Amino acid sequence: MKKLKYISFALIALWSLTSCANELETAPTDQASGEEVFKTAESAETVINGAWAKLNDDGPTYANLGYSTVLRTSDAMGSDVAILGNKYGFPSAYAFTEMINNTVSRPQFIWFTLYSTINNMNNVIARIDQTEGSQEKKNQVKGQAKALRAFCYLNLASFYQFSYLKDRTALTAPIYTEPSTISSVPKKRASLEEIYTLIKSDLTEADNLLTNYTRNNKDKINKAVVNGLLARTYLNTGEWSKAAAAAKIARTGYPLMTAEKYKEGFNDISNGEWIWGHGQTQEQSGASYAFHYLDVSSSGSYYYSFMADPFFKNLFDANDIRSQLFQWDGLPGREGLLRYSKFKFKTGLIADIVLMRASEMYLIEAEAEARNGNATNAVTVLNELKTARNANPYSGSLSQNDVIAEVLIERRKELFGEGFSLSDIIRTQGTVARKPYVDANGQPIKVQITTPDGTVKTVNGRGHSVFNFPDQTAFAPNSRYYLFSIPQKEIENNPNL
């Protein structure tokens, strides 16, 4: 893979952060001045385009490529993905030894990637009003910059501190809303309350600024994406009515895919259910490397390490279209592993990256309604999604706790591999749940596989291999092992943390 660089569009090279505020890189040769870059609203938009490309496609290793790294790490640290320990990429995240270690590459890469994007958006927001161009174009550019900044802060709030509903005053990460320069003073950590106040302010303003904007592709942020981010935000902060309302707006115009469409591989941004994604081409395909972990069935997939926990399979109804995606692996060295073939490469080993779907919005709406005491409304929304997947409608107890539990299980089933595992565990103050694939007597459970030559045989089923935290304590809610760490380099360079 060729490491991608994005220096042609201005501020990524000029104001790239290697530390949050006080270590800056400048482009050595082809420096476009800020005046040139921000001469027009059209040219200012190229900063967003370049920052978006860098956020998604750039990275130092095959396992750290853009924002997909956050999504893959979140699922690797959850309950339902059984990571292969002998495959490159995510075994350390799976074992909870990586993200707590602030000296290794992944925690550093995620932190600096988010703050680099924030800094670029700060430059856009600070200078867009002085550019030449129509007010409509300026509104579009500012609205997208505000939303992308909020998206980065939402990730910081979601992974670097425990749930807002546990302690909204907990210190998390610094807030920067002005462009950083050599003389900028590094900030102290802000509370979750302060970060979410900024997120909600940015998204609310973006929603207004993008009122008349019609995008030409789903990489762009429009009002639907903004409302989806608002729905996620309000779910995190316990504002249930607002979460349900924003989710309903976000999913409008994005119908749930058919059952047959569900089996096509989650690789195409043109899917009508996708609200937001990152498209890939043969020429720009850096983010596609994430699929080498997710795609466990295509012959060209190299890492194929995101196998499914066999107990996860038991959550699905037999008639559910999603249950047809499970298959016991019979390839040499992989016998007895459980494939979940939700993700499949397109021809040429490229695949678009999904960032937001209508189904997530149905689930946010259902959960918010349930937590708000409207169990009947919650079940109605939940069953719309279940029906689309050919699953049995929920017909159980209407007690609040039972309905919430059912929605959270449906989130696990529907959003597997899309990056919500760890953030949901932190948000709900839940716990990772993993157990060995054995029966009540502690004996391996047998499964039937088909080998490449067509032979059918019975072998031991294989699931999780990590069942405790590194200190050998049991998985528990609100564990420090769930949180992403602030890099040591940042701590050294920012005495105000």
- How high is the pLDDT of residue 34? 72
Alpha carbons 96 and 77: distance in angstroms, whole number: 7
Does residue 244 form part of some domain? yes
In the structure encoding, which two tokens stand for residue 155, read together? 């990730």
Residue 104 lies in a domain: yes
Q: By residue range, what is the domain housing residue 280?
A: 11-451+456-493
pLDDT classification of 462: cutoffs 50, 70, 90:
very high
Convert the pLDDT of each residue in 272-285 to its tens digit: 999 999 999 999 99
Using DSSP bridges, classify how beta strands 456-460 and 446-450 pair: parallel, antiparallel or unpaired.
antiparallel
In this prediction, residue 356 carries a pLDDT of 98
**Other Cβ atoms within 10 Å of 298 Cβ, number:** 18
Q: At residue 154, does pLDDT exceed 90? A: yes
Task: Decide if pLDDT at 244 tops 80.
Answer: yes
Question: What integer pLDDT is reported at residue 33 of this predicted model?
Answer: 61
In a domain, 332, yes or no: yes
363-400 confidence digits (pLDDT tens): 999 999 999 999 999 999 999 999 999 999 999 999 99
Beta strands 81-83 and 306-308, pairing class: antiparallel
Tens of pLDDT along 3-62? Answer: 333 323 334 433 333 344 333 232 222 345 677 889 999 999 999 999 999 999 999 999
- Which tens digits make up the pLDDT trace of 393-421? 999 999 999 999 999 999 999 999 999 99
Those residues whose C-beta lies under 8 Å from the C-beta of residue 237, and which sit 6 or more positions away, are 164, 165, 168, 196
Q: Decide if 230 is inside a domain.
A: yes
Instruction: Answer yes or no: is 6 within a domain.
Output: no
In-domain check, residue 2: no
- Average confidence score pLDDT of the chain: 93
CA 76, 77, 80, 85 dihedral sign is positive
Query: Tell me, what DSSP letter sits at residue 241?
Result: H
Residue 4 maps to a domain: no
- Determine contact, residues 105/60, Cβ cutoff 8 Å: yes
Number of structural domains in the chain:
1
Q: How far apart are CA 399 and CA 397, in angstroms?
A: 5
3-state secondary structure of 167: coil
pLDDT at 2 > cutoff 80: no
Within a domain: residue 442? Answer: yes
DSSP string, 474-494: PP-TT-GGGSPPPPHHHHHH-
Q: What is the largest CA-CA distance in the chain?
A: 73
**Which amino acid, 480?**
R
**pLDDT for 32:** 52
8 Å CB contact between 491 and 102: yes
CATH number at residue 43: 1.25.40.390
Give residue-wise pLDDT tens across range 202-216.
Answer: 999 999 999 999 999
Q: 349-383 as b/e, with b when 16 or more CB fall inside 10 Å?
A: bbbbbbbbbbbbbbbbbbbbbbbbebbebbbebbb
